A and B are shown apart, each in its own frame.
Chain A
Amino acid sequence: MTQLTQNSGLGSPQGKTKPARSHLVIAMIEVRRVSLVVLLTLLVLLAVTFFLGRVMPTDPVLALIGEQADQSTYQTVYEQLGLDKPLIVQFGIYIKDIATGNFGIARTTGNPVIVDIRRVVPATIELATLSLILGVIAGVPLGMIAAVKRNSAWDHGVRFFSLLGHSIPNFWLCMMALVVFYAILGWIGGSGRVSIFYIDTVDPVTGSILIDSIIARNWDLLGDALRHVIMPALILASGSMAFISRMTRSFMLEQLSQEYVITARVKGLSRMQVVHHAFRNIKVQLLTIIILSYGGLLDGAVLTETVFAWPGFGQYLTAGLMNNDMNAVLACVLLVGVIFVSLNLFADALYRVLDPRTR
């Protein structure tokens, strides 16, 4: 790309503006291409979810009216839900609505889906962000130690715990954590974001109880919220920590076997200096996997949210699925798609910024 721009500018009286214009054109083409791919991906995602939802054997009308309603009520609700129209027409109406920002009403809550999503996403972001911070703080150093002390007891220990983090079912881990740290030791709060008698004691500002309690200077609430968030965050972090430590180890091993490391050692650099050099070279890859694991944390917390009764995105999606609330499910699927696509694009962009070779 750089070569092309330089050539196109040669011998031209407007040599300084043309390369810039070409840059712009290429960037625009790239943006348009990416946008098209993103839109197409999301449309296919929506179509698959929509049609799968409609062919599911559970009747959405019965999910709403229950067992005791008669046939005339059934018919009323059937028409209210628009199910009397052909499937393709229903899909067309849905796409037209979401193009105007109308994601419909969630049948399970009676709220516009967008209002629900705004309510549940901050809870999940709070949990996932804390988990990611814990996962990175623990995972990166552990991965580096394992790489530097390859095949030592440290390395085996880190690999063992990494395997453990991946293998133990979260559901079981959550229950055990509640039994030991909540019920027996009393070190943590129980389920939910705060104790039952602290609910709604401050006005929501950001949606994050940790931040809202600081804004309100309600330190009791902050302490209570920390006691509640710490265990689900640690359990979620165990998975991302395992992944990050394993990947850090692998990236570091690759760097430590490079010739520049050998040269550095021959030149007499200390081990710490060598490791510092190697780490600088893995930071781009590391950032990418950290960003991707954040996406996994945002939508992969379903079981943790269920056991800890964390009123987040995972629980909302599960309830939507259980109650056949397709408006809620479709919006959630779309959001997950957007999160993943955005994080991938963000990772791509970071690559370009941090690694000159990819420009």
Chain B
Amino acid sequence: MIVLMLGVFGCDSEINRSPTDVLGIAANLRSMMTLDPAAISESLTGGVMRNVCEPLLVLNEEDARQVMPGIAESWSVNEDFSIYTFHIRPNLAFPSGNPVTAHDVAWSMNRSLQLNLTSSKLLKEWGFNKNNFDDMVRVINDLTLEVRPPKKYSPSLFLYALADYRSSHALDRIEVLSHEIDGDLGNGWLTRNTACYGPFRVHTWRAQDVLILERNEEWQRTENPIRRVVMRHIPEPGTQRLMLEKGDIDLASNLEPSDLDAIEENPNTYLKRTPTFSTIYMAFNRDTPAFADPRVIEAMHYLIDYEAIARTVLNKAAIVRESPVPKGMFGALPESFTPYSLDIDKARNLLREAGVAEGYSFELLASNSAPYSDIAQHFQENLLKAGVEAKIITLSSGHLFTKVRARKFDAYIGGYAFNYPDANNVMLRFGYNPKSSEDNSVSVAWRTGWDPGEWFNATVMQAQTEPDPLKREQLYHELQRYHMENAPIVFLFQRLGVRALSRNVESIKANAITLSFASAVKKP
């Protein structure tokens, strides 16, 4: 019967071949839950929305450290860094036809604070809040916006605060407010729709099925050869690979590390690897008595076979990064700075010196998604050689978050994606912890119960306002060295953004944070 059915329908046709102005992408869309920039919390939707919602400033498509004009065509800062003035490009229009103005930007930023959803953190951490917003952000006229940050941040740092689609986008407030229900500021409507200005607009979104973007013909910043982006929900990595190899899609975004060699060997496909600002780390809870001793944490540094894991488990989808700040960020230590390597004897001696008895055991939590559980197993084997047992508990990432935010763990392996390319970002999440007793569960330092001390906290604050870039960089180097020696956190790897592409795509630009769909050039 199979032969009969396939005989009737089976013939390879050319209908699937990708048109030159359409980009076909396979991705696991399961985590894509909302399109509201004020509420987006995960990276896949973030990657899409960066192609839909242009912020005041954007990061260069290939080097994220360079801040470029976005909705604002130019900006200026006064002498004491207390006032930033942004000039919005004239004649910009939303898909509805409404003009893009400074009012829209200010309203959208304020809306984020009012809703107090995930993205509000990106404004609150710079000192903006519901109460001071009107004093801090002023609309001078339709095309001029003035921002007075609560602190006199170093301009090279503060501009990053306004170069994120979640913090400084422009929503079409007239359109959004026309869909407001029960004072939700359009949150319900924006869950499924978009009202931004950017290279694309959302044409169709059916959750867990398909997302179609259409070129915004009004977009002015660069040429956009891509008329349509079709992103289909293909949850199974093996299926994504087959579709890519057949030429039915142009880009597969969720391949397993084990698939990468085959993609590189196939003449019709290739890989584009870009260092990202995503890190893989291990954290140890100081409330677990053994981990209160810095010698134990130092021993943990020596129980990781960094190179072997990068080569095997991660299969070139990550690079070794022992220092906290990822490569490519402002303030990163040189790539060659790798003071730790596998040394089981040294680790065993450190453990004995710290009084950790042979046979000591603890629970190691790891997400059940790749590559965390595999890394945990590698680590477990080396721990055993040093006389310590790690009981690995694999959990869904939601369950893992729940446990670590409640400080209910001995140790865990986790990942973190930073939002902007400055070491301040890393230090706030992984080091700065002024009152370790207060609930600050977004901070990994807080989760581990680490009190970095007055010098560390004060230096993090000082680096934020230091105007001299060289001095700032120096401060971050010092902070990182201190962190590596004292914090109960072990940085392991920096992930690479690995995109498997069909040879139909001649080129596409990506920086450490996002992939630019509009930069794709397909074979004619």
B138 within 8 A of A: no
**Residues from chain B with Cβ under 8 Å of A58 in the complex:** 396, 398-399, 402
Question: With a CB–CB cut-off of 8 A, which chain B residues contact A44?
Answer: none
* Known contacts A64-B41, A65-B118; A200/B204 CB under 8 A: yes
| Chain B residue at smallest Cβ distance from A109 | B207
- Given A108-B208, A309-B235, A69–B117 Cβ distance below 8 Å? yes
Q: For A230, what are the chain B residues with a Cβ–Cβ distance below 8 Å?
A: 5-6, 9
A64 touches B10 (CB 8 A): no
The residues in B between 320 and 378 inclusive whose CB is less than 8 angstroms from any CB of A are: none
* Contact of B239 with A191 in the complex, beta carbons under 8 Å: yes
168-182 of chain A: CB within 8 A of chain B: 175, 178-179, 181-182
**B33 interface contact, C-beta 8 A:** yes
Chain B 229-242 near chain A by CB (<8 Å), digits 1 or 0:
01011111011001
Give per-residue flags for A172-211: 1 if the beta carbon is below 8 A from chain B beta carbons, else 0: 0001001101110111111110011111100000000000
B21 to chain A, nearest CB (A): 11
A261 adjacent to chain B (CB < 8 Å): no
Q: Which residues of A contact B19 (CB under 8 A)?
A: 197
Does B462 sit at the interface, judged by CB under 8 A? Answer: no
Which residues from B are CB-within-8-Å of A199? 204, 210, 212, 230, 232
Contact of B121 among A62, A68, A188, A319 (CB under 8 A): A68
Q: Which residues of B contact A323 (CB under 8 A)?
A: 30-31, 33, 398
Query: Considering only CB atoms, which chain A residue lies closest to B429 in the complex?
Result: A68
Cβ contact of A185, chosen from B10, B124, B399, cutoff 8 A: B10
Interface flags, A14-25, vs B, CB<8A=1, else 0: 000000000000
Contact between B402 and A59, CB atoms less than 8 A apart: yes
B residues in contact with A175, CB < 8 Å: 236, 238-239
Contacts of B191 in A (CB 8 A): 109-110
Q: Which of A68, A189, A192 neighbours the largest number of chain B CB atoms within 10 Å of its CB?
A: A68
How many whole Å from B403's CB to the nearest CB in chain A?
A: 8
Q: Mark the stretch among A219-227, A277-285, A287-295, A338-346 that contacts chain B.
A: A219-227
Q: Is the beta-carbon distance between A197 and B18 smaller than 8 angstroms?
A: yes
| Interface status of B470 (Cβ within 8 A of chain A) | no
Judged by a CB distance under 8 angstroms, whether B243 is at the interface is: yes
Question: Which of chain A's residues have a CB closer than 8 A to the CB of B416?
Answer: 67
Main secondary structure of the interface of A (DSSP, over half): helix
**Cα separation A190 to B13 with both chains bound (whole Å):** 12
Q: A68-B118, A185-B10 are in contact. Are A190 and B243 (CB under 8 A)?
A: yes
For B238, the closest partner residue in chain A by CB is: A175
Q: Is A245 located at the chain interface by the 8 A CB criterion?
A: no
A220:B15 contact, CB within 8 angstroms: yes
Are A110 and B33 in contact, CB atoms less than 8 angstroms apart? yes
**Given A68-B41, A71-B440, A109-B207, is A59 in contact with B16 using a C-beta cutoff of 8 Å?**
no
Selected from A66, A134, A181, the residue in CB contact (under 8 A) with B6 is: A181
A137 and B1 alpha carbons, distance in the complex (Å): 10
| Stretch from A72-80, A248-256, A350-358 forming part of the interface with B | A72-80
A240 to B175, CA, bound (A): 51
Name the one of B42, B208, B399 contacting A109, with C-beta atoms under 8 angstroms.
B208
A234 at the interface (CB under 8 A from B): yes
A70 at the interface (CB under 8 A from B): yes
Residue in A69, A191, A223 whose CB lies within 8 Å of B234: A191
CB distance B249 to A196 under 8 Å?
yes
Question: B120 interface residue, CB < 8 Å from A?
Answer: yes
Interface bits A91-113 vs B (CB < 8 Å: 1, else 0):
00000000000000111111100
A134 CA / B248 CA spacing, docked (Å): 28
Known: A191-B239, A192-B232, A199-B230. A227 touches B10 (CB 8 A): yes
Expressed in whole angstroms, the minimum distance between the Cβ of A242 and any Cβ of chain B is 13
- B162: min CB distance to chain A, Å: 18
Q: Which of A73, A105, A119, A322 has the most CB of B within 10 A?
A: A73
User: Which B residues touch A196, using CB under 8 A?
Assistant: 16, 18, 24, 230, 232, 248-249
- Distance in angstroms from A15 CB to nearest chain B CB is 58
Interface centre among B124, B204, B441 (most CB of A within 10 A): B441
Q: Which residue of A lies closest to B415 (CB)?
A: A67
Establish whether residues A187 and B6, one from each chain, have CB atoms under 8 Å apart when the complex forms: yes
Contacts of B121 in A (CB 8 A): 68-70, 73
Chain A: which residue is nearest B3 at the CB level? A187
Taking a contact as CB atoms under 8 Å apart, the answer to whether B118 and A69 are in contact is yes
A316 at the A/B interface (Cβ < 8 Å)?
yes
Residues of chain A with a CB closer than 8 A to B39's CB? 64-65
B15 pairs with A195, CB closer than 8 A? yes
Q: From B1, B2, B232, B402, give the contact of A309 (CB < 8 A).
A: B232
- Does residue A116 face the partner (Cβ distance < 8 Å to B)? yes
Q: Is B405 an interface residue (CB 8 A)?
A: yes
B10, B210, B401: the one within 8 Å of A188 (CB): B10
What are the residues of chain A within 8 A of B246 when measuring CB–CB?
A: 182-183, 186, 190
Docked CA distance A107–B1 (Å): 42
In the bound complex, CA of A220 to CA of B11 (Å)? 13
Whether the Cβ atoms of B405 and A62 lie closer than 8 Å is yes
A131 at interface by CB-CB < 8 Å: no
Find the B residue at minimum CB distance from A233.
Answer: B5
CA distance A107 to B239 in the complex (A): 27
Instruction: Identify which of B236, B403, B405 gathers the most chain A CB atoms within 10 Å of its CB.
Output: B236
Residues of B within 8 A of A198 (CB): 15
Using known A-B contacts A192-B232, A319-B30, determine if residue A234 contacts B207 with beta carbons closer than 8 Å.
no
> In the complex, what residues of A have CB within 8 A of residue B236's CB?
175, 191, 306-307, 309
CB atoms of A309 and B239 under 8 A apart = yes
Tell me how far the C-beta of B333 lies from the nearest C-beta in chain A, rounded to whole angstroms.
24
CB distance from A308 to the nearest CB of B (A): 7
What are 25 residue pairs bridging A and B, where the CB atoms are less than 8 Å apart in the complex? A64-B41, A66-B118, A68-B442, A69-B118, A71-B439, A73-B120, A76-B116, A109-B33, A109-B192, A175-B239, A178-B242, A181-B6, A186-B246, A187-B10, A195-B15, A196-B230, A197-B15, A197-B16, A197-B22, A199-B212, A227-B9, A309-B233, A309-B234, A315-B233, A315-B235
Given pairs A64-B33, A69-B41, 18 additional interface contacts (CB within 8 A) = A59-B401, A66-B41, A70-B442, A107-B33, A108-B30, A181-B10, A187-B10, A187-B11, A188-B10, A190-B242, A195-B15, A198-B15, A234-B1, A307-B239, A308-B239, A309-B235, A315-B235, A322-B396
